[in-house]
Amino acid sequence: MDHFHYKNGVYHAEDVNLVKLAEKIGTPFYCYSTATLTRHYSVFSGHFADVDAKICFAVKSNSNVGVLNTLGKLGCGADVVSEGEIRLAMAAGIKPQDIVFSGVGKTASEMAFALDQDIFQFNVESEPEVDLLNQVAISKDKKARIAVRVNPDVDPKTHAKISTGQKESKFGIPMTAALPLYRHIESLRGIDVQGVSVHIGSQLINLEPFAQAFARVRAFVGELRAEGCTINTLDLGGGLGIPYGQEEPPMPDMYAQIAKREMQGLGCKILFEPGRVLVGNAGILVSRVIYIKKSGSRIFVIVDAAMNDLIRPTLYGAYHDIVPVVTPAGDAPTELVDVVGPVCETGDIFAEQRLLKVPAPGDLVAFRSAGAYGAVMASTYNARPLIAEVMVNGTQSAVVRERQTYEDLISRDTIPTWK
């Protein structure tokens, strides 16, 4: 459920008229719904209210400080993959003690910063990383609390570019190699083992891969404890999918049943790292039609948003529902159209041969389910400034990231003096 809907023929974000908002701030822009964020977090976390669980939002899916602050006030922590994301989470008011640091390529300086903040846990992903973290911790006379991210070799049945749990993935450590690593860690005086971490991929719409992975983690915890390892935390990652089009992903209560069943009786604090399932349907991208171009048998709807603003369709072939902001007239023709942006790339396509009411130049359209991996993956390709991000709350709206100006864009470059 989300809070984007039509009212008197005009698409609204909660109680905010998107036509008026577009007139006020220009297009394109991202718009996030506070009510949707609140509902999604409350529903997800509510299914774990009866166990010792901590929800840590995957900041990589949407790093806007306004979004992070909204989730943080609800009690959400943060799963981060860089020093920058740690800083964003803290700027949003999330306490370091509620931050988990994941990622395969942590640098010594990032480790040092995280140790200085006293974050809750590092999810380590290789023996060289463990050894470097040990050195950094010793140099600071600290102990780094860790969980080892194990790779259960489970096919998540999702897009290849967002699969992370198979044995040839760059992520995690194969379970066959993990037990020797835990033995090695016992000799490191800068490391304090807390638990085990797992994350098998993103946009999963089938529960079976979760069940397989969690069962293998449970068995592995038994092996570790038999070796004398103390395991107090289990980070089960994220990855639960959302409906972009015709998908029918499982509801959070079904996911929770599997997680709680597999972890029952282990006596561990359970961590979750949801991202897309909390923010995906809480955001839209609003864009204005520039031209309608006919070329041979094709009709191109050219909009002012582009692949640099929302790269998912180009990168993953991802589907986003596209809706008119003002309900079209009943006699408006319905045609197969290509919705494209102005970037100088053939791949700058949002939808190919999509059956839509053909809009007119100047009309507004909204790309739904754009709250995750949208603005956070944007770039300034073709010297296009980063677009505005807005949050709404009931009848209120606020710009939570200003539109970048051309002056901002150019000011980062300098001309060498020897020129």
Residues forming the active site: 344
Alpha carbon distance 252, 250 (integer Å): 7
3-state secondary structure the chain: CCCEEEECCEEEECCEEHHHHHHHHCCCEEEEEHHHHHHHHHHHHHCCCCCCEEEEEEHHHCCCHHHHHHHHHCCCEEEECCHHHHHHHHHCCCCHHHEEECCCCCCHHHHHHHHHHCCCEEEECCHHHHHHHHHHHHHCCCCEEEEEEEECCCCCCCCHHHECCCCCCCCCEEHHHHHHHHHHHCCCCCEEEEEEECCCECCECCCHHHHHHHHHHHHHHHHHHHCCCCCCEEECCCCECCCCCCCCCCCHHHHHHHHHHHHCCCCCEEEECCCHHHHHHHEEEEEEEEEEEEECCEEEEEECCCCCCCCHHHHHCCCCCEEECECCCCCCCEEEEEEECCCCCCCCEEEEEEEEECCCCCCEEEECCCCCCCHHHCCCHHHCCCCEEEEEECCEEEEEECCCCHHHHHHCCCCCCCC
